[in-house]
Structure 1
Amino acid sequence: MTLRILLILGALSAFGPLAIDFYLPSFPTLARQFATDVEHVQLSLAAYFAGLAIGQLLYGPLADRFGRRRPLLVGVSLFALASLACAWAESLEVLVLARFVQALGGCAGMVISRAVVRDLCDPLASAKVFSQLILVMGVAPILAPLAGGWLLAWSGWPAIFYCLLLFAVLCALAIALWLPESRPAHAPPAPLSGALGQYRRLFGERQFLAYALCGGLAMAGMFAYIAGSPFLFIELYGVSPQHYGWLFGCNAAGFIGMAQVNARLINRRGPAFWMRRVVVFYLLCSLSLVLLALARPAHLWPFLPLLFAAIASLGCVIPNATACAMAGQGAHAGSASALLGSLQFSVAALAAGLVAAWNDGSALPLAVVISLCALLACLCAWLTTRTA
């Protein structure tokens, strides 16, 4: 895989984290703008997760039927139009709806980038490429909150969505000019009428489901952190939106760094081996967060090392679970990628919604939701050994 294709796939994979992380510092500002509270603004994040979960099921069959490029261009164009609608939103209800539509467009890049990797790589190479994609797309969660905080202070919250519009336009140009069609030429186009049958077949593959849910639950813990961190950092402990970006970026850097370590580790024992062990470490970190939240410390700093370790461990769990789930899917990689992503973001939407609904003015809801996700991810990792 060439560096140019890797960069394009990284940018397409970044539609999710970029559109999420970029506007996180604006939550308190949006609450004031729309005369509501941060908990209600978090509904726009849950709507985005829901859009990602639903939309991915649409693009999988389209990618298997029409190839990878055309559905990508349609999705990126929809994301661009919805970004403009977000910038022009005059009420929270309009923003929530626009964010849902924005997700329906942005998830095309996430689904089809995984399918392209499966088209071009075997399972071991796929795990390495997914780890490298985390490095490329990981610039988004590091820089996006920083840039979002500064844009918020300099030009107001609509500027954040104008930048997302520009990003989508640049990605559409890159797809049109430099991304080749990767769907195997010998594979017959999959009829759209068979999409439900493909999903039913995948639901019957217990090994696929176990790996997909392990990665999805791990990702749900990450998105619970993303949904709850503005309250924890900014509202509860008084961190400024600009400084929030630095703290968020440090945790994202740990996630990226672990993904690069993972790319070397899997040469020795394979992706499944490391996934099953690191997910246990993730559980231990999350349970420690619960104990700390129960103590209600007066300062933020005791949370920081535990959050860093928990989020960093996901840099091993998520790419390895994805590679193992996608292994052996062949000509139906689009549908497999769509179901994988839909499962992941359905659980992520639920986790983000739980954090918002259970807000009690402390860090405990965030810590408990992360721990629940980690516990269930460990159970799914154990199931992969039972269904092998």
Structure 2
Amino acid sequence: MASLSMLGPFSIDTAFPAFAQMRGDFEVGTAEMQWVVSAYLLAFAAMSPFHGPLSDAVGRKPVMVWGVGIYALASVGCALSVSLEMLLVFRVLQGLAAGGGVIVSRTLIRDVFDGAEAQRLMSITVMIFGVAPAVAPIVGGWLLQLGAWPVVFWFLAVVGLSLSASVALWLPETHPPHRRIPFRFVAMLRGLTIPARDLTFHRVVWSAALSFGGQFLYIGAAAIFVVDLLGKGELDFWIFFVPMIGGMVLGSLLSTRAAGRVSGRRLITIGLIAAAVGSVLNVALAIGPTEAVLPWAVLGPAVIAFGSGTAYPSQQLAVLDLFPQVRGSAVSLFSFCTLVLNAVTTALLAPHVTDSVLHLALAAAVMVFAGLALWLWHLRSVPASVATSA
């Protein structure tokens, strides 16, 4: 399940070291290359509301097997692309298909486990997932030593095919027929409208999306941040990703150790406050002479990631526990909101705030504090005595 959730970051970050080659081959600029990220994210977001309801209707396993299998075929199309336009078409297909594994895999833990055990396993999954953005650009850099940029997408095709086969052979079905909703469009749409009409759902989801968005802004703009602002090369992405993802892994580890001892509400609060402190530190370091100097330039994002890693597992469980009858739909809508924000951030916000380290830090701080404000609103609106995991 953790490997399936890692497919998303691998789809984005493995290609970052190849951007310079692709830009030269396709004769396009930096702004156009950002669409290699945005096209995938927008397609992923557009399809994400449907993967969960489909899994509620036909079971988790078929959606994952077929989704990741189609992703592997789309990766082959990316590798064979001869123009940026052709590449973007197959990136869209990648995004449409990948959610079958990335989104649906999150519901499996809550299908089987409750309480502290669910929190512990979700935290472990997020911790392993957190390693992917750090490893992916390093792997991408190594792959470029073996050949030109298409080798990155051949690698993703092999990963997708391996995961699809693994699910088919070894992963059990966790959503039996007697729990499924009718396989009808109206029934699946109704499953989406239940959480969509709930204000509590939106407070929790947008708090998670915005607080994580402060971290994702750096991930989506990594090619600009590392190469243009920090002046590093195609093999140097680890300088940024290792401390950032290290922070997220440490936060997830804290969440794992706290399972059964600290409530989900308190963990989320602790995590979001830590992320806010990290965003303030990030802005402070970007104002002075440490603006583009390592390690100070990556310290703030690492602290933001620590806070996000602490809060995110409990935020996901909070959403799943709000709607136990339509968990697939709830996690799909959660993913949809997060992905839309990430795609808009990458496509529309990042180009306007990556002219300096300071502007990037300020934009991240605004997102983190907005997420914290929504969570504090939620705490005031839903007292602990009447709340579930949220």
TM category (shorter chain) comes to: over 0.9
Q: Distance in 1 between matches of 2:109 and 2:255?
A: 17
List per-residue Cα deviations over 1:114-146 (Å, max 9, x = no partner). Answer: 121121122433222111112333332222111
Q: State which of 238, 242, 250 in structure 2 corresponds to 1:245.
A: 238
List per-residue Cα deviations over 1:198-239 (Å, max 9, x = no partner). Answer: 222212222222211121112222221112222122122221
Q: Distance in 2 between matches of 1:99 and 1:289?
A: 32
- Conserved 8 A contact 2:270-2:307: no
List per-residue Cα deviations over 1:174-206 (Å, max 9, x = no partner). Answer: 111111110044324333322222222212222
- Conserved 8 A contact 1:251-1:311: yes
Aligned positions of 1:176-187 closer than 5 A: 176-187=168-179
Q: Distance in 2 between matches of 1:135 and 1:229?
A: 20
Aligned to 2:248: 255
Aligned to 2:25: 33
Q: State which of 243, 262, 274 in structure 2 corresponds to 1:269.
A: 262
Aligned positions of 1:1-388 closer than 5 A: 9-190=1-182, 191-295=184-288, 297=291, 299-359=293-353, 361-388=355-382
Q: Distance in 2 between matches of 1:96 and 1:372?
A: 30
Aligned to 1:6: none
List per-residue Cα deviations over 1:66-104 (Å, max 9, x = no partner). Answer: 111111111111101110111111122222221121011
AA aligned to 1:325 is V
- Conserved 8 A contact 1:218-1:318: no
- Conserved 8 A contact 1:132-1:260: yes
- Conserved 8 A contact 1:15-1:107: no
Change beyond 3 A, Cα 1:98–1:366: farther
AA aligned to 1:272 is R
- Conserved 8 A contact 1:354-1:369: no
Change beyond 3 A, Cα 1:123–1:38: farther
Q: Distance in 2 between matches of 1:135 and 1:318?
A: 10
AA aligned to 1:290 is V
| Cα RMSD, aligned residues only | 1.8
AA aligned to 1:382 is L
- Conserved 8 A contact 1:224-1:351: yes
- Conserved 8 A contact 1:152-1:160: yes
% identical aligned pairs = 26
Is the partner of 2:81 in helix, strand or coil?
coil
AA aligned to 1:157 is W
AA aligned to 2:365 is S
Q: Distance in 2 between matches of 1:282 and 1:49?
A: 24
Q: Distance in 1 between matches of 2:139 and 2:262?
A: 39
Is the partner of 1:241 in helix, strand or coil?
coil
- Conserved 8 A contact 2:224-2:354: no
Is the partner of 2:232 in helix, strand or coil?
coil
- Conserved 8 A contact 1:73-1:175: yes
AA aligned to 2:286 is A
Give the superposition deviation at 1:263: 1.1
70-79 or 348-357: which moved more? 348-357
AA aligned to 1:340 is F
Q: Distance in 1 between matches of 2:328 and 2:92?
A: 22
- Conserved 8 A contact 1:69-1:175: yes
AA aligned to 2:217 is A
Give the superposition deviation at 1:325: 1.1
Structure 1: runs of 5 or more not aligned: 1-8
